[in-house]
Amino acid sequence: MPATRVIRLRREAWGFAIGSLCFLVGAIPWYAEAVGVAVTDLTFFVGALFFTAAAFIQLALSGRHRPARGTARPDVFDWWAAVVQLVGTLFFNISTTDALLTAVDSTTRVNSGWRPDAAGSVCFLVASTLAVVATTERDRLWDPNARSWRCTWLNLLGSVFFGASAVGAYVLPSTADLVSLFWANLGTFLGAVCFLVAALLSRPAPPRRAAPSAQDAGFPDGSRRPA
């Protein structure tokens, strides 16, 4: 694999890992109680930015344009997964930005705070499903030797948890209460854990430097001793 691609894949993995870590921390109630609503929303805001940056890299690696006719099905599914994933991160950007602006405004700060985004969660679920299909067609459905197998299924599980958090965060019109604050937080936390582990597993090994030639080593005859 070319060194430049390895570097970009590592940047993508670290982007998703840092974004996941931010959402993981932000979903912990004790963290929110300790730092306040504004800092908690800032944590989600930063996490969403890392998600989007990583999603841009993912799409660039999959191809900036729609696959041409005749492209292998797994590659097509990978491309669409990257596109939908990017759209999902943009939804999270919008919701976290809105929550942050609300939190820093003293007139609206009371009872404010970011809640799991339904549109973004649906996009994550669709993207993860497409990625699983791509893995299934490229390799075997249950291939313990394939790193992508673990990553795609972990991402799908994480997306399910994010979906559960979005359901829990739905505001009931009759009472203005959440369906389940417990699942709004726990779903985000567990989903972020899955995304974090998947991102760390997806990191390719650092590109190896080429071994120095004999001339670079300073010995024209190729030996490791002075001539």
Token pair 């399910």 is at which residue? 160
> Which DSSP symbol is given to 64?
S
Helix (H, G, I), strand (E, B) or coil at 193: helix
Three-state DSSP class for residue 171:
strand
Dihedral of CA atoms 11, 129, 24, 111 in degrees, nearest 10, equals 120
> pLDDT tens digits for 141-158?
444 444 577 888 999 999
* Strand partners for 171: 178
The residues, ordered by sequence, that sit 6+ positions from 28 with a Cβ below 8 Å of its Cβ are: 185, 189
How many CA atoms lie less than 13 Å away from 5 in the CB half-sphere?
Answer: 6
**Helical residues (DSSP H) of 105-180, grouped into ranges:** 118-138, 147-168
How do residues 40-49 score in pLDDT, each as one tens digit? 999 999 999 9
Question: What's the pTM value of the predicted model, to 2 decimals?
Answer: 0.81
Mean predicted confidence (pLDDT) in 54-58: 93
pLDDT digits (tens, 9 = 90+) for 171-209: 888 877 788 888 889 999 999 999 999 999 888 766 666
Residue 106 has pLDDT above 70, yes or no: no
User: Phi, psi at residue 63, to the nearest 5°?
Assistant: 120, 125
